[in-house]
Structure 1
Amino acid sequence: MSLIIAASLLATVLVFAVVRPRGLPEAVAAVPAAALAIAFGLVSWDDAVAEFRELGPTVGFLAAVLVLAHLAGEHGVFRYAGRVAARISRGDPPRLLAAVFVTAALTTAFLSLDATVVLLTPVVLATAARVGARARPHAYASAHLANSASLLLPVSNLTNLLAFAASGLTFLGFTGLMTLPWLAVIVVEFLVFRRFFRADLVAREEPRPDGGNGPPPRYALIVLAVTLIGFAVVHPLGVHPAWVAVAGAVLLAVPRRVGPRTLIREANLPFCAFVLALGVVVLAVQRHGLERFLGAVVPDHADLLGLLAVAALAALLANLLNNLPATLALLPVVEAKPGLLLAMLIGVNVGPNLTYVGSLATLLWRQILHTHDAAPDPRDFLKLGVLTVPPALVAGVLALWLSLRIG
């Protein structure tokens, strides 16, 4: 009965997060669900507080990075990236797709997947119109790379932050092991995109120049570069990278005279509350059966077959539960085995490209396209996911296996 109640609470939270009736934040369902889990005795108050403390630094970092990405957008970093992509493409749609892949991959890796979805996607749409290319391939690229290109750095995705905190790896150690999987997944995605969208990439439309030019935002780019270096430098010193993100946000906020109200809004405190509350709800499901089940099916060894099995299981859970709950559920089972933990990340980051519900970022991407009158076709999204996810998972795991052997 406890498992049924806990699973019902989790299902309610996830359905609410997907549907978001009247645009209400996910925390509206998650916080009461967490309170009920504690009230019903599914999770003790002490365990809930311990979960908050464990997730707190990671959630604080998430808030700081969201502010950092917003301020980078205010300085024109993403508009500048769009201009560079348009210039590199020379009006050629396949070249533009390659430029969008590079831009989206770097944005996701260095500023998190939320920056790619929220700030880069509108720029991609405008850039495609500017050079007379069809927007569809480039818009789908921003969604796919927001998930699959988040493998590189601990700061690229909330799932990475959670795994990194439990891995015992250094910042550079994590990045070193995930560089080959990151590259392998992006290459597979690009090859599939070129074939899937071949008709769109030869079609041309009337260019719509917007006259958007101007110097590069040098100050913002320097601050972002120093911030990224800071993430790697402070970790061995025992300083949490959230403080580096806060410092970078302050340096970007001062010249723009951004007020505290804007900073608080962009930190997305309701989403932070959702993550904390979701951790308690998932903990309730874990304590009453899910952790035992996962412990029984997860392999013990990080050989090639074990890595493939964990990545596939993580991808399946991401599409059933969403990638954030899937990460929280699998972490206790794989955290003592760094190889399996990194394979799990490949599953929860690449797997969500199969369905809309795989990640909250994909759901947000869909909303953004609707607001720009470029609504995606669910059938196309599913077909593209079927073609990209399996080979990208295999390529990423093979690259991880090679990285682990080299490492």
Structure 2
Amino acid sequence: MEEDDKKLGTGQVGLGDVQPLPKIAVAPGDPAPKAESDSSGSGMKSLMRMARILFLCLRVLIIVILAYLLMSGVFRVDEQNEAMLFRFGALQSRQIENQETSVLTSGRWYWAWPYPIDWVKVLSAQRTVTVSTETFFEPWVKPEPGQAPNRFLRPGADGYLLTGDTNIIHAVAEVNYRIGDPQKYYLEFFDDSEAEGLSGWDSGETTGHHGHGKTEKNERKRGTVAIMQNLLANALLSVSASWSVEDLRTKIKKVGETSVNIEVSVQEKLEMYLKEIDLGVEVQSVKVTFQLPYATLKAFDSVFAASEMGNAEKQKAHLDASTLLSNAEGMAAKIRNEALAYKRNIVESVRADSTYFKTVLAEYKDHPETMLMVLYTDALQEALSKVENKYVLHEKQDSLQEIRLQIGQVPEKSKAPNQEQEAGGAAQ
């Protein structure tokens, strides 16, 4: 009993070490040992009850921790994002739509072990990113309105481009691109040490614990952005070296009968560079803005104004020439049509006369006198139809012909005396 008490005092007794208390022989009439056994039995019962409660609480705590670990590993990849899962630093692959892929697509729920076992990197794969050349090809200080511009560019400070006709021009280019292959983009080119405020699993544009916590935007440029900026500057520099300053100002270059846009050329050159290094991005659009040097702006404006005036005159001359040619072609077509119509009329008339003469000739051969009389009558009728006054002379029996012509006005006839008296009586 003393050894058991020592074990309880030193905490060396477990639940498995508890043994039934030995029976103590008590003589009749001796109550002291019974009281001592009752007190030690109640203490053991309290200790066992406390141990059971502690073990129950421990079980509940373990269950809660396991449930938290299981539930905290559930995360969802939002729209316009993708994700990659790393386990102890190794990229993991999963079966998605019967295909094994290492990129977790958007709009799905996933599960991962808590950090540091699993590490989820959220990727802004569908988001459009804009990169600009900024001050690569711009002057360091721009003159204020009304301020006289600097006469010379400062080497090493002012940026500019050399054109194909040995002129100088300033430019700013912007490219919009999206991440086409997140695995190549983030694993082969992106450097986590260049980003600011990175914590936990994420080294992209958001930070959190398992991809479903709070997010913070990272405003610092990353290594891939710097690569895109340099490639864009190289593409612009390469293309502008073969263009004249006038073509760069209008952004259009004539190649034979076709026209080439400077922005399209820069985009094609940039895509060629990206294909060589396999960056994993897709170029959507390129925008280029040109600015002439401030010291020569007025001179260039005068030259361009004269060039535009000359082009306007050329266009006007071409328009006038096309108008005159159109009018001449229309007049020629009209004359040809009238000649063809006149030809058809003459041919039809001659054909009709030929048919008539053939018919008359056949009738004349059969009845010559009758046909002569008919022809004479027709000719006389046609001749008389063309004159207004007609005089017909008839032959008398004495072979004399008389024609009476009235010359001057016909005089009025005088009234008889009886008629004059009747007229006077009526007046009275």
Whether TM-score is above 0.5 comes out as: no
Structure label with greater radius of gyration: 2
Larger helix percent = 1
Per the shorter chain, which TM-score range? under 0.3
Larger strand percent = 2
The TM-score, its normalising length taken from structure 2, stands at 0.17
Higher relative contact order (CA 8 A, sep 6+): 1
